[in-house]
C-alpha cells in the first residue's frame, strides 16, 4: 500500500493593497501566495487583511489600530515609500507587527527634483512656458540668473541634502549648510561649510530645505527668517510642507523681499488652491519628489525584500520599529551567532532568566551593537513561545516575562578579537552563561564558554551538554549509550576547572538525541545537568 502523499506546504500570504511595480511581485518570488485588494476601500480592506502574513501599501491604505486588530496573522506591514503617515507604528509595535519602509528609494529622485525646481525658479521656466503657450514671446521679461559661483544654503544635511549639495557643487556653486546634528568635520569632508541658520540666510543666493517635519522644524523658516535673507534669494522646499511658513513666504515673494520659490510640498495636501499659485515667481509641483519610475520600482523591490526577510524571521534593516538602526558590516556576522547563543542559553537554563546581560567585547564595540541584544532576545524566546518571535516583539516578550535586559560593551577582549556572552540569573539565583566568537577569515562560529567552562565547539544543529563530577570512564559511558541509540558523535570536548571537580562534556551530534537517551546518560553519569539543544 502506497504511503499518502505529503500535504503541500502552506505558503505565507502577502496582500498587495495598492498598485505596485511589476518588479515588486518578481522580488517577492514564488514562495508566497499573492492576493490583492483596494486598500483605500475600508469595507474591502478589513476582511482582506484578516488572514494574511504581510501587507504591502503605498500612501492610500490606512493601516491603523482597527486594521491591525482585524489582522490576526499579520507579521509585517510594508510601505513602498519613505513616509509612514498612513501606518500606526505604535499600534503595530504593540501587536508585535514589524513595520518596514524604503527609506532610500526616492532620495535620488527627490534630490533631482530640488535641483530642477531651483533651475526652473532661477530661469522663470514656468511663467515663460505659460506665456509662450499663450502666444507671447517675452524674452526680456524672463531674464534669469545663473547658479555658477553663487552660494547655496542647504538646510538639513541628511541623505537628500548631501545629494543636492553634491549636484550643486558640480554647477560651480559654493555650498554652506545648517544642520545642528552634523559634525563640522563630516561636512568639511564634503566641501560644505557648516553655519548657523542666520548666517545661512544672510549669505545664500539660493536655499534648499531638506529637513524632516517635526514639532521643532514646523515654521522654522518664517517671517523673521525671510526678513534676514537677501532680496535675490531663490528658496526651494521639496522636503515637507509646513517647514516654510506659507503665509510668510507669500508676503516675502509678493513684496520682493525674496526673489522666487520652488515648491513641491505644502502644509496641507492635496493642495490645489493657494495664494502662492497666483505668483509668477513661484514654480510649484504636486509632491512629485518620489514620482519617478525608478523610485517606485526601488521602493517596491526594497520592501519586497524586507517582507521576505521578515517572514523568514531574519533581521530587517529597514524595519522602522526595530531598535538598532543601520547595522555596520562588521557587526552583521555576529547576528546569527548571537541568536544561536540565545537558543543555547534557554536550553541550558530551562527557564526564563530574571536578569539577562548581553555582553559584547572587542573591536565591534566601536559600532552600534544594539542589534545583538535583539538577536539574543530573539534566540532566547524562539523555542519557548507559541507566536513567531521577531526583532520587534522580542523586547516585549522579555518585558512581559519580567526579564530585565542589559547590553554591556567593553572594548577590551583578552582572549578573542570579539566575544559575545549571554549571562543570566535565574529565579533561584543560579547563574547561566554561554559565549561565542567568530574565527578566521571565513568568520566561523564557535562556542567558547559554557557556564564558566572553556570549550571550543561549532554550534551545529544538534548539541548536548553534560555537567558532572570529574572521574574516569564518563566519556565511554556517553559514547556507548549514544552508539546504542544510533546517534553519531561529530565532535566532543571535555572541560574541567579542577582535577576531580566539576566537569563539562560538550557534544555535537549528527541527529537529535531522544529524550529517553538523554535521561539514560544523565542517570549513568550521575550528571548534575544534561541538556540537549536543537538549532534546526
Catalytic positions, please? Answer: 240, 269, 287
The C-alpha cell of 191 is what?
566641501
Tally Cβ neighbours within 10 Å of residue 247.
Answer: 12
DSSP state of 438: E
- Can you name the residues that pair with 34 across neighbouring β-strands? 14
Distance CA 153, CA 203 (A): 8
For 287, residues 6+ apart whose C-beta sits below 8 A from its C-beta are 264, 265, 266, 269
The C-alpha cell of 337 is what?
551567532
Distance CA 278, CA 289 (A): 22
Give the CA distances from residue 55 to residues 64, 75, 81, in Å, rounded to whole numbers and listed in that order.
13, 9, 14
- Can you name the residues that pair with 152 across neighbouring β-strands? 175, 206
Give the CA distances from residue 227 to residues 248, 308, 452, 510, in Å, rounded to whole numbers and listed in that order.
10, 51, 68, 76
Distance CA 391, CA 389 (A): 7
Question: Helix (H, G, I), strand (E, B), or coil: what is residue 529?
Answer: strand
For 100, residues 6+ apart whose C-beta sits below 8 A from its C-beta are 76, 77, 78, 79, 303, 306, 307, 310, 316, 318, 319, 320
Shortest CA distance to 38 belongs to which of 13, 11, 57, 51? 57
For residue 271, is it left (φ>0), alpha (ψ between -120 and 50) or beta? beta
DSSP code per residue over 12-67: PEEEE-S---HHHHHHH-TTSEEEE--TT-HHHHHHHTTT-SEEEE-SS--B-HHH
Amino acid at each position: 500500500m502506497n504511503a499518502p502523499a505529503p500535504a503541500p506546504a502552506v505558503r505565507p500570504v502577502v496582500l498587495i493593497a495598492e498598485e505596485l511595480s511589476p518588479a515588486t511581485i518578481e522580488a517577492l518570488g514564488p514562495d508566497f501566495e499573492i492576493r490583492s485588494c483596494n486598500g483605500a476601500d475600508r469595507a474591502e480592506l478589513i476582511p482582506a487583511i484578516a488572514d494574511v502574513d504581510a501587507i504591502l501599501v503605498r500612501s492610500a491604505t490606512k493601516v491603523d489600530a482597527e486594521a491591525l486588530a482585524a489582522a490576526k496573522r499579520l507579521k509585517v506591514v510594508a510601505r513602498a515609500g519613505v513616509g509612514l503617515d498612513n501606518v500606526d507604528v505604535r499600534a503595530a509595535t504593540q501587536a508585535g507587527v514589524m513595520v518596514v519602509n524604503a527609506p532610500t528609494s526616492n532620495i535620488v529622485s527627490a534630490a533631482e527634483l530640488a535641483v530642477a525646481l531651483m533651475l526652473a525658479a532661477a530661469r522663470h521656466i514656468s511663467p515663460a512656458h505659460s506665456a509662450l503657450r499663450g502666444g507671447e514671446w517675452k524674452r526680456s521679461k524672463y531674464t534669469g540668473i545663473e547658479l555658477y559661483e553663487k552660494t547655496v544654503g542647504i538646510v538639513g544635511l541628511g541623505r537628500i541634502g548631501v545629494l543636492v549639495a553634491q549636484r550643486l557643487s558640480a554647477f560651480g556653486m559654493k555650498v554652506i549648510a545648517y544642520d545642528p546634528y552634523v559634525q563640522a568635520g563630516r561636512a568639511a569632508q564634503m566641501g560644505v561649510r557648516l553655519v548657523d541658520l542666520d548666517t545661512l540666510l544672510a549669505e545664500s543666493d539660493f536655499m534648499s530645505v531638506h529637513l524632516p517635519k517635526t514639532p521643532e522644524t514646523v515654521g522654522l523658516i518664517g517671517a523673521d527668517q525671510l526678513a534676514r535673507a537677501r532680496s535675490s534669494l531663490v528658496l526651494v522646499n521639496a522636503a515637507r510642507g509646513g517647514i516654510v511658513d506659507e503665509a510668510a513666504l507669500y508676503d516675502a515673494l509678493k513684496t520682493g523681499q525674496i526673489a522666487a520659490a520652488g515648491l513641491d510640498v505644502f502644509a496641507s495636501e492635496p493642495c490645489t488652491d493657494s495664494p502662492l499659485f497666483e505668483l509668477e515667481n513661484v514654480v510649484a509641483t504636486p509632491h512629485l519628489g518620489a514620482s519617478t519610475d525608478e523610485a517606485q520600482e526601488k521602493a517596491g523591490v526594497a520592501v519586497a525584500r524586507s517582507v521576505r526577510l521578515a517572514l523568514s524571521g531574519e533581521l530587517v534593516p529597514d524595519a522602522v520599529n526595530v531598535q538598532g538602526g543601520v547595522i555596520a558590516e562588521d557587526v552583521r556576522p555576529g547576528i546569527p551567532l548571537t541568536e544561536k547563543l540565545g537558543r543555547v542559553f534557554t536550553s541550558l537554563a530551562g527557564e526564563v532568566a530574571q536578569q539577562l546581560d548581553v555582553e559584547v567585547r572587542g573591536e565591534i564595540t566601536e559600532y552600534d551593537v544594539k542589534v545583538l541584544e535583539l538577536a539574543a532576545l530573539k534566540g532566547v524566546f524562539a523555542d519557548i513561545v507559541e507566536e513567531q518571535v521577531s526583532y520587534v516583539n522580542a523586547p516585549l516578550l522579555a518585558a512581559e516575562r519580567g526579564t530585565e535586559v542589559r547590553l554591556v560593551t567593553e572594548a577590551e577582549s583578552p582572549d578573542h578579537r570579539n566575544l559575545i556572552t549571554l549571562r543570566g540569573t535565574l529565579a533561584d539565583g543560579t547563574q547561566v552563561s554561554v559565549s561565542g566568537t567568530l574565527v578566521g577569515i571565513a568568520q566561523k562560529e564557535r562556542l567558547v564558554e559554557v557556564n564558566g567552562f572553556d570549550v571550543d565547539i561549532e554550534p551545529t544543529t544538534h548539541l548536548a551538554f553534560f555537567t558532572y563530577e570529574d572521574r574516569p570512564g564518563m566519556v565511554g559511558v556517553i559514547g556507548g549509550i549514544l552508539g546504542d541509540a544510533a546517534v553519531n558523535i561529530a565532535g566532543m570536548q571535555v572541560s574541567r576547572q579542577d582535577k576531580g571537580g566539576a566537569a563539562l562534556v560538550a557534544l555535537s551530534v549528527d541527529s537529535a538525541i531522544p529524550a529517553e537517551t538523554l535521561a539514560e546518560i544523565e542517570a549513568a553519569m550521575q550528571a548534575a545537568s544534561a541538556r540537549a539543544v536543537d538549532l534546526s
